[in-house]
Amino acid sequence: MEIREIRENKTEFMDLLLIGDEEENMINRYLDRSTLFVVYDSGKPVSLCAVIKIDSDTIEIKNLATFPEYQNKGYATKLLNFVFDRYKENFNSVILGTGENEKTLNFYKKCGFVQTRRVKNFFTDNYSHPIFENGKQLVDMIYLKKSLT
């Protein structure tokens, strides 16, 4: 397993980015200003994380995605830990927003995140079509935060 920082041609990973965010125009809003980290296994990209700087204290994970056949094998956890280690010297916290999906929320909580706020109707107001995870339509965005100190 190898983690690489991608500085150019980030759209080459659109198939993987679309797993974490279903609408390309939403991805395009943050991709250029993101630092993209990609996990490779046997030379093949299997997981990625897009990170942006919010301010001098905080970074935000805009996208964390793993191809379905590689999920539940620890790639996303290793990638998150890599990001935490990479940014802990210069930032105090990391935030992220996700849908109200129990499996996803439990994963992030296991990684040390705590829920901080909810943005009502985020998915219904900002996406052109309904987004479903585990058979449930996503409506609100749940924000989580983790201290890096």
Q: For residues 137 and 130, is the Cβ–Cβ distance under 8 A?
A: yes
pTM: 0.90
Instruction: Provide φ and ψ at 117, rounded to 5°.
Output: -165, 175
- Angle at 4 (CA atoms; ends 112, 101), nearest 5 degrees: 35
- Angle at 52 (CA atoms; ends 60, 47), nearest 5 degrees: 80
Domain spans, the chain: 2-147
pLDDT by residue (tens digit) across 22-44?
889 999 999 999 999 999 999 99
The residue type at 123: F
pLDDT for 100 equals: 86
pLDDT of 74 over the 90 cut:
yes
CATH class of 2-147: alpha beta
Q: For residues 41 and 1, is the Cβ–Cβ distance under 8 A?
A: yes
